[in-house]
């Protein structure tokens, strides 16, 4: 029997890969956090799964309290230590995260510029472990423009011959703020999801019990669980109760409150931004008489959340492509009554986006986009990265705009691994579980949106299995997270 001692990152990696039952099947009975005080368990053998950083290592040494144990650490042989070359979270089958949300401030805040190289070095190491896990060693390329993209790509080249398409968050600031009306994106945008956990489980159980005429006025969640155990006639029904239906219902209630009108205004602004003749029933640009008139009622509506108003203002600014006048911006902020959060809007300039005409980033414009031909009226926006993925696969990306750091290196196809999420994590892979086709790995500096994650799956399916597109970032973005990240750019370094 063994005890497994972990730090924050290794626990996050384990949790994203396997269940506690999988760990117990390997003889581990207890999992302990190295950062917390704990009682010594001298009867069990300890396995330390920790990050190779000084702070964590010091915690590890301090946990070995006896002189005998400390003397043993001086005679550790290479056989006592194993390097697990994994420093990323397999979030989904084609999505990964470096679990480093604070890196957004490091990359884009002028107050944290001194930490940029150090953080890029750490993240480059993490991405190198991803490439090593996948056994991928082809070319690295990046979007030209922001100097961080090139520097990050160079660091990646030093770590491994990784296949990377590196793009900064400022390349497409629209996708993280637009209301995405697919199920997963709506759940994370509209409902309070914390670390992939929905907070309303206890309320759901109470409502279920109330529907069965149970007395639950003073019952807590433990009492409810005991009640359900005593009622086998309801267990089957409860097991069939779909959490997803509840989530969908909660999303629809939010949507009908005010979001439908909000989305209509958003899509009009985006249709104007990307207006072309590709739609079967296009929205004519001539019908969009005055953008300001369409958004002012939304900004004056007290039922709409401040962050939603800020999202509308930002979409209006992006619709103008080259920013708006400072006086117009002040009026919009006053109409929306979001003065205390107005720095969110101006801080987007740190991402290279034109916000105030004639100000920072003057002359820059966002890339042109097309709208989809076969989708819902309120969901016509395609993430800019989707077209980049398609062009990369078809070898149509402009090499001046997307230069290479190094040429692709040949890799034996039998060594290429499948995506990182798998069920039986402790079993050896068979030959049929290895992928032989090429991969495109996209890394977004500053967070990846759910619509961009969806695009990776769609582009992969469109190739009929010839390509697999993986996408990842320092963290997974929700619209609220993105606006919070932007707001934090004013915070001085501590």
Q: What is the pLDDT of residues 419-432, one digit of tens each?
A: 333 333 334 444 44
**CB burial readout 456-470, b (16+ within 10 A) else e:** bbebbeebeeebbbb
Structure tokens that stand for 167 in this block? 């793009």
Q: Is the pLDDT of residue 234 over 70?
A: no
Does residue 164 or residue 172 have the better pLDDT? 172
Q: Is the pLDDT of residue 374 over 70?
A: no
Of 136-145, 159-168, 457-466, where does mean pLDDT reach its minimum?
Answer: 159-168
**Distance (Å, rounded) from C-alpha 151 to C-alpha 358?**
28
Contact between 185 and 450 under an 8 Å Cβ cutoff? The reply is yes
Contact between 421 and 93 under an 8 Å Cβ cutoff? The reply is yes
Q: Is the pLDDT of residue 398 over 50?
A: yes
Q: Which of 86, 142, 152 is nearest to 119 (CA)?
A: 152
Q: How many residues does the chain have?
A: 494
Q: How far apart are the first and last CA of the chain?
A: 43
- The model's pLDDT over 61-78, given as tens digits with 9 standing for 90+, comes to 555 544 444 444 445 556
Main-chain phi, psi angles of 46, to 5 degrees = -105, 140
CB atoms < 10 A from the CB of 73, how many?
11
Predicted pLDDT at 282:
42
Place of tokens 């019952």: 219
Helix-strand-coil split of the chain, %, nearest 5: 50, 10, 40
**Distance (Å, rounded) from C-alpha 299 to C-alpha 269?**
14
Predicted pLDDT at 235:
58
Domains of the chain plus CATH, in order, are 2-80 (3.40.50.2060), 89-172+383-490 (3.40.50.1910)
Q: Is the pLDDT of residue 298 over 90?
A: no
Q: In angstroms, what CA-CA distances link 209 with 213, 230, 232, 241, 243?
A: 7, 13, 13, 12, 15
**Distance (Å, rounded) from C-alpha 211 to C-alpha 208?**
5
Place of tokens 């078809």: 394
- Confidence bin at 218 (pLDDT 50/70/90): low
Predicted pLDDT at 138:
60
Stretch 107-124: mean pLDDT, rounded?
90
Of 29-38, 248-257, 258-267, where does mean pLDDT reach its minimum?
Answer: 258-267
Of 81-90, 327-336, 342-351, 358-367, where does mean pLDDT reach its minimum?
Answer: 358-367
Give the burial class of 20: count Cβ atoms within 10 A of its Cβ; 0-12 exposed, 13-18 middle, 19 or more buried.
exposed
Q: Is the pLDDT of residue 417 over 50?
A: no
The DSSP 8-state label assigned to residue 258 in this structure reads I
Predicted pLDDT at 435:
64
Q: In angstroms, what CA-CA distances link 384 with 148, 299, 408, 450?
A: 20, 27, 25, 13
Of 7-11, 166-170, 239-243, 484-488, where does mean pLDDT reach its minimum?
Answer: 239-243
Q: At what angle do helices 306-319 and 326-336 cross, to 10 degrees?
A: 150
- Confidence bin at 194 (pLDDT 50/70/90): confident
Of 151-165, 265-279, 282-296, 398-412, where does mean pLDDT reach its minimum?
Answer: 265-279
Percentage of the chain exceeding pLDDT 70:
66
């Amino acid at each position: 029997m063994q005890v497994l001692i972990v730090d924050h990152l290794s626990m996050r990696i384990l949790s994203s890969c396997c269940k506690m039952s999988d760990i117990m099947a390997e003889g581990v009975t207890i999992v302990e956090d190295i950062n917390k005080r704990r009682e010594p368990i001298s009867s069990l053998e300890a396995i330390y799964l920790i990050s190779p950083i000084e702070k964590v290592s010091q915690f590890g040494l301090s946990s070995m309290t006896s002189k005998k144990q400390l003397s043993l650490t001086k005679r550790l042989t290479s056989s006592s230590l194993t390097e697990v070359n994994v420093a990323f979270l397999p979030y989904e089958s084609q999505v990964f995260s470096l679990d480093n949300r604070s890196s957004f401030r490091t990359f884009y805040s002028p107050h944290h510029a001194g930490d940029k190289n150090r953080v890029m070095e750490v993240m480059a190491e993490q991405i190198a472990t991803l490439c090593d896990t996948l056994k991928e060693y082809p070319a690295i390329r990046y979007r030209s423009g922001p100097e961080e993209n090139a520097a990050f790509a160079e660091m990646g080249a030093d770590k491994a011959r990784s296949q990377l398409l590196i793009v900064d968050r400022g390349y497409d600031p629209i996708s993280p703020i637009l209301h995405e009306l697919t199920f997963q994106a709506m759940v994370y945008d509209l409902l309070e999801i914390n670390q992939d956990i929905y907070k309303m489980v206890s309320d759901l159980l109470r409502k279920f019990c109330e529907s069965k005429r149970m007395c639950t006025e003073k019952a807590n969640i433990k009492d409810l669980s005991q009640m359900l155990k005593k009622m086998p006639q309801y267990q089957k029904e409860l097991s069939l109760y779909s959490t997803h239906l509840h989530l969908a219902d909660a999303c629809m209630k939010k949507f009908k409150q005010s979001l439908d009108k909000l989305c209509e205004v958003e899509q009009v602004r985006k249709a104007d931004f990307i207006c072309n003749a590709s739609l079967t029933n296009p929205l004519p640009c001539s019908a969009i008489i005055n953008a300001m008139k369409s958004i002012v009622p939304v900004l004056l509506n007290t039922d709409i959340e401040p962050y939603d108003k800020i999202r509308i203002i930002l979409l209006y600014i992006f619709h103008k492509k080259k920013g708006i006048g400072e006086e117009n911006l002040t009026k919009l902020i006053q109409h929306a009554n979001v003065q205390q959060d107005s720095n969110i809007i101006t801080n987007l300039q740190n991402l290279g986006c034109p916000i105030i005409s004639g100000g920072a980033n003057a002359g820059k414009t966002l890339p042109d986009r097309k709208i989809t031909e076969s989708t819902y009226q309120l969901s016509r926006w395609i993430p800019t990265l989707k077209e980049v993925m398609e062009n990369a696969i078809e070898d149509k990306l402009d090499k001046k705009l997307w230069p290479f750091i190094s040429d692709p290196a040949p890799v034996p196809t039998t060594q290429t691994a499948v995506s990182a999420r798998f069920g039986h994590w402790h079993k050896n892979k068979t030959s049929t579980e290895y992928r032989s086709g090429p991969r495109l790995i996209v890394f977004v500096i500053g967070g990846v949106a759910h619509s961009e994650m969806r695009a990776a799956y769609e582009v992969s399916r469109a190739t009929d299995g010839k390509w697999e597109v993986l996408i990842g970032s320092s963290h997974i973005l929700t619209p609220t997270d993105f606006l919070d990240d932007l707001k934090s750019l004013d915070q001085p370094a501590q």
